[in-house]
Amino acid sequence: MRPGTLRRRSRAQTSQRAIVDRQATDLVRQVCDLAGARDLIANLRGDLDAQGILGALEAHDTPTIYNWMVRNIAYQGISDYVAHDFMDRHGSVTWSQIEQSLGDEPTCPKLGSYWRFHRCGYDKTRRTCKQPDHFLACPLPAHPLRNGRLNQSAYSLYLFMRDIADCDFVGWLTSSLGSAHCQPHDVDRIRQALIDRLQYLFGLSSKMLTMIFSDLLIGGASGRPAWLEVGAGMIVVDTLVHNFLARTGILHRHQANHLYGPHCYGANGCADLIRRIASRIDGRQFNPAFPKTFPRFVQHAIWRYCSQQGLDICNGNRINDRLRCANAWCPVVARCDRKLLRQLQRKPIEPSQ
């Protein structure tokens, strides 16, 4: 093929990508106008303050931060109502309870340190674990959490904060994020490195870790610019967000159709696309206190546009997913491709290389 033909083809492909990006940006910007939480940072800060977390951050109070995180972890994999109701009736688990239960020398070797805790294997229903000789004397099953995985998560997080963070989780977090403000071009790498360091905590998915740390870093960012930089880029992709990107045609246009799941956080997945779109939307137009690039705000606006707790527009209750969306009253219908979600779920298109 002649060099001139290659250049023309490359220019055509670049032009087509620009059109696709502009279409997605215009649609999502309209969603942000309609559903964006302009007080997102203030709300997160207020929630943390009401729960005593802002004071705990200033005082480097690891037990209080631990108690807050454990309660948040309990919402994983189940409706908020069920999780909240269970904790109302049975309580959660606290730092002091675990500290007291372990004592000076726990009988089970797996409870000796964070590094030994791997593959504890506690099963609440079967009343078994990987160290059956120590089961009767083990304190881990004594806490009345909703399932055995939560018991293991609670101990895994406690041992991490005690052994890895040396009982100063704020200090560990500050150190982990310290170079973000000095090297803005490395923020994405630092964000991923933070999640990677925490990925071996038992039972905590990347989605749950992202949700917890996004709220903590953004809400607690006053006087900590690196925290806001990293937290603002953390994106939580649930089925509402994924399905919105699929129905509107954003995934299809970017050759990124995929089933909901791990690929949402992979190359050319949902999170990747939201970051690309967010880079073209100035967050300061919604609130001067926002960072210029604010992917978490954009993702949250999409979620609010779809969620029953928000505008309740783009979701399975409003749309019969066996058919193309017929909601002519949807504010973004003129920009939406109205893709058939069920068809996309059956025949995912592999992302382009």
- Domain spans, the chain: 3-35+235-346, 61-167
Give the rounded distance of the alpha carbon of 140 from its chain centre.
27
Residue 231's nearest CA partner among 17, 5, 57 is 57
Is the entire prediction scored with pTM above 0.85? yes
Distance between CA atoms of 249 and 257, rounded to whole angstroms?
Answer: 9
**C-alpha of 111 from chain center:** 29
Q: CA 47, CA 49: separation in Å to the nearest integer?
A: 5
Could you list the pLDDT tens digit for every one of the 353 residues in the chain?
Answer: 566 655 555 555 566 778 889 999 999 999 999 999 999 999 999 999 999 999 999 999 999 999 999 999 998 878 778 888 889 998 899 999 999 999 888 889 999 999 999 899 999 999 999 999 999 999 999 999 999 999 999 999 999 999 999 999 999 999 888 755 555 557 888 888 888 888 889 988 888 899 999 999 999 999 998 899 999 999 999 999 999 999 999 999 999 999 999 899 989 999 999 999 999 999 999 999 999 999 999 999 999 999 999 999 999 999 999 999 999 999 999 999 999 987 766 544 443 32
Q: Residue 294: name the closest of 206, 193, 187 by CA.
A: 187
Token code pair at residue 42: 């203030």
Q: How far apart are CA 266 and CA 263, in angstroms?
A: 5
- In sequence order, the 6+-apart residues with CB closer than 8 A to the CB of 14 are none
